[in-house]
Structure 1
Amino acid sequence: MSGPPYSAPLFLIYLCQSFIRDSFMKLQLEAVRAFVAAADEGSFTAAGRQLKKTQAAISQQVQNLEIDLGFDLFSRQGKYPKLTEKGQRLLKDARMMLSQVEHFSEQARSLEGVAEPRLRIGVDPLVGTPELLTIMSEFAETFPHVELYLVQQNSQSLLQKIDDGQLDAVLGLFPKTDMVDFTSVDAFQISSHWVASPQLAESLGQPIRYASLCHSRLLLPTNLPEQSMRKMTDMVQVWQVEDLNTLLSFCRSGIGISCLPDFVIKQDLENNKLTPIQFDFDRISHFDWRATLLWPNGHQFHDAGLWLFNKLAHVRQ
């Protein structure tokens, strides 16, 4: 037999087209398995023993594959079949193809009975505590076949995404008025403190008086709970910054003072890039914000979702 040479990618494309064209996918896969087994074992007889088939069946399957391809995979001139040059070139891709088919089969078997193959979760960076990494690691081990789509944006953006049906649930900071149309569960508290660069803190004096505060600037994450910050934002100029890294850079540079979660500022405090500040009206020196889980009313979660939400609701701060 003879025919035009096929490159390795063309071989895979040809087989895919062949499967679709003649609907003999099982037969073609068996022929590829026979080809690989014969190449690995060195004879059709040994390949038959490996695949629990007769020597004649293996020989016929390989021959059928050669007819479909239009060229010989083996030379049969000696006692044992020997791979042709084209057969050698295609053997690696044939192995790859069988590996992918096996992976596909394993995935299909593993997903059987999995009611929740994918979760789409949104998390506000202001509540993205280090404990979340531990939870996600446990989730990956407990539900290895459930895909996780994770979005990190501010709470209002996440609220819009869940309202548009792009997310299944969100974890963030939400005013009570935003929870009306959703099912909600209170999660953990986020402890936060006011900080500034050491230079700015020294220039303002400690504790900071009301008069000094009025001449300063607040650097705040966007969409913080309105009530907790109203007294402060009514007093002074406010810069709202969505990206926490940018906000931290501004604060380190002395542009203003900021109130941020303890897990966000921990490293900067340890490295003396930021310092805690106090006010002579100490009631506002510290805030605790409550993280909340939201999801659409009536949405039914299964094992993976319920496991994850239970873990998120019991994070310890």
Structure 2
Amino acid sequence: MNWTLDELNAFVNSVKLGSFSAAGRRMGKAQSRVSTAVSNLEADLGFELFDRSAKLPILTPLGEEMFIEAQSVLAQCQRLHARAMTATLGEEVALTVAIDEAVPVNAFETFFLRVSTQFPLLKLTIINGSQEDIALWVDQGRADIGIMFHTVSLPDALEFMSIGQFKHSLVVSAQHPLAQVPVPTLEQLMQYRQLAICDRTGQSQSQPLSANHWYIDSYYYMVALALQGVGWALVPEHVAKTEWYSNELLELSTEYIPDPLLVEIGVVNRRDKEIGPVMRWFFAELDSVLDDD
């Protein structure tokens, strides 16, 4: 068998994006070149990967099996490339960290203090975002690593390492009508405005519970508006307990909320990005950064 990585890449992109033309746009190639690459892969393997009798190609049973294997091979090649780049370049001189604005402040202040001591010559850039911003910036290469809440599926090129979990709290102001309902039902919540999180562009992959909702790109600003009685909000527990306004918020029961209320926090990086000594140290330290928080 003489299949190539280019053929595997054309095959995987065609499956993920739903057509040869879409795969071509992603890869910067003509549709004919993608189609030819997939045909060559089929010839090398000795069986068809797609059923082409329909308007759009559909995976055959063997194609479905090969799709899983092809993704694994490409992922391993990305890791091999990253290791080779690390061996060539050595220790990093600069890093950019993208961090969700709602992560526990105290824990990461302490972490970055240790970074400054451990790597006094490192040129570090820290950029703040919310929700999908972090994964997008790492995927696009704007950041080397990201620290984020894992609430939606990640781009295929990213790897995620969990470092902890937080519970969502349901909060309102003391003046809000729901303040008189310690254990609100879903129907009661839907009668009032929900303040829901989104990214910097106003987009969100999670659906608010209430049809009447506002999107806001900061958990802290959500709490500030909740304090004014604008609506109710689901925010990470440590945000709700922030000393600035914890005494002014009321936390209600989440017994009747159907969605999972535990949110995972972790670190993301590109699988094909070289990981040098500094980033390895980052990962080792971040693995326990929340243990004492």
TM class by smaller structure: 0.5 to 0.7
Q: Which amino acid aligns with 1:301?
A: I
Q: Provide the C-alpha distance between the structure 1 equivalents of 2:115 and 2:102, rounded to a whole number of angstroms.
A: 21
* Identity across matched positions, percent: 14
2:175 partner SS: helix
Q: Residue 272 of structure 1: CA displacement? A: 2.1
Q: Which amino acid aligns with 1:250?
A: L
The structure-2 alpha-carbon separation of the partners of 1:298 and 1:257, relative to structure 1 and needing over 3 Å to count, comes to same
Q: Provide the C-alpha distance between the structure 2 equivalents of 1:214 and 1:268, rounded to a whole number of angstroms.
A: 29
Q: Which residue of 2 aligns with 1:293?
A: 267
Q: Which residue of 2 aligns with 1:310?
A: 284
- Unmatched segments (≥5 aa) in structure 1: 1-112
Deviations 1:230-268 (A, max 9, x none): 5xx244422110133322221110111111112212135
TM-score (norm 1): 0.56
Corresponding residue to 1:180 among 153, 156, 173: 156
- Most deviating of 191-200 and 160-169: 160-169
Is residue 2:185 matched to residue 1:209? yes
Corresponding residue to 1:254 among 229, 239, 248: 229
Q: Which residue of 1 aligns with 2:97?
A: 121
TM-score (norm 2): 0.60
2:278 partner SS: helix
Kept after mapping to 1: 8 A contact 2:220/2:239: no
- Unmatched segments (≥5 aa) in structure 2: 1-88
Q: Which has the higher contact order (CA 8 A, sep 6+)?
A: 2
Q: Which amino acid aligns with 1:249?
A: A
Q: How many residues align?
A: 200
Deviations 1:68-117 (A, max 9, x none): xxxxxxxxxxxxxxxxxxxxxxxxxxxxxxxxxxxxxxxxxxxxx97211
Q: Provide the C-alpha distance between the structure 2 equivalents of 1:218 and 1:309, rounded to a whole number of angstroms.
A: 36
Kept after mapping to 2: 8 A contact 1:173/1:225: no
2:102 partner SS: helix
Q: Which residue of 2 aligns with 1:240?
A: 215
The structure-2 alpha-carbon separation of the partners of 1:186 and 1:203, relative to structure 1 and needing over 3 Å to count, comes to closer
Structure with greater proportional helix content: 1
The structure-2 alpha-carbon separation of the partners of 1:274 and 1:201, relative to structure 1 and needing over 3 Å to count, comes to farther
Q: How do residues 29-178 of structure 1 correspond to structure 2 at under 5 angstroms?
A: 115-175=91-151, 177-178=153-154
Q: Provide the C-alpha distance between the structure 2 equivalents of 1:114 and 1:136, rounded to a whole number of angstroms.
A: 22
Q: Residue 148 of structure 1: CA displacement? A: 0.9
Kept after mapping to 2: 8 A contact 1:269/1:275: no
The structure-2 alpha-carbon separation of the partners of 1:189 and 1:114, relative to structure 1 and needing over 3 Å to count, comes to same
Q: Provide the C-alpha distance between the structure 1 equivalents of 2:185 and 2:271, rounded to a whole number of angstroms.
A: 46
2:263 partner SS: strand
- 4+ long deviations beyond 4 Å: 201-204, 223-226, 268-271
Q: Which amino acid aligns with 1:136?
A: F
1:307 partner SS: helix
Kept after mapping to 2: 8 A contact 1:220/1:258: yes
Q: Which amino acid aligns with 1:216?
A: Y
Kept after mapping to 2: 8 A contact 1:122/1:152: yes
- Most deviating of 251-260 and 156-165: 156-165
2:189 partner SS: helix
Q: Provide the C-alpha distance between the structure 2 equivalents of 1:200 and 1:161, rounded to a whole number of angstroms.
A: 37
Deviations 1:204-226 (A, max 9, x none): 52221333212111112215985
RMSD of Structure 2 on Structure 1 (CA): 2.8
2:223 partner SS: helix
Q: Residue 201 of structure 1: CA displacement? A: 5.4
Q: Which amino acid aligns with 2:226?
A: C
Kept after mapping to 2: 8 A contact 1:120/1:169: yes
The structure-2 alpha-carbon separation of the partners of 1:178 and 1:283, relative to structure 1 and needing over 3 Å to count, comes to closer
The structure-2 alpha-carbon separation of the partners of 1:210 and 1:155, relative to structure 1 and needing over 3 Å to count, comes to closer
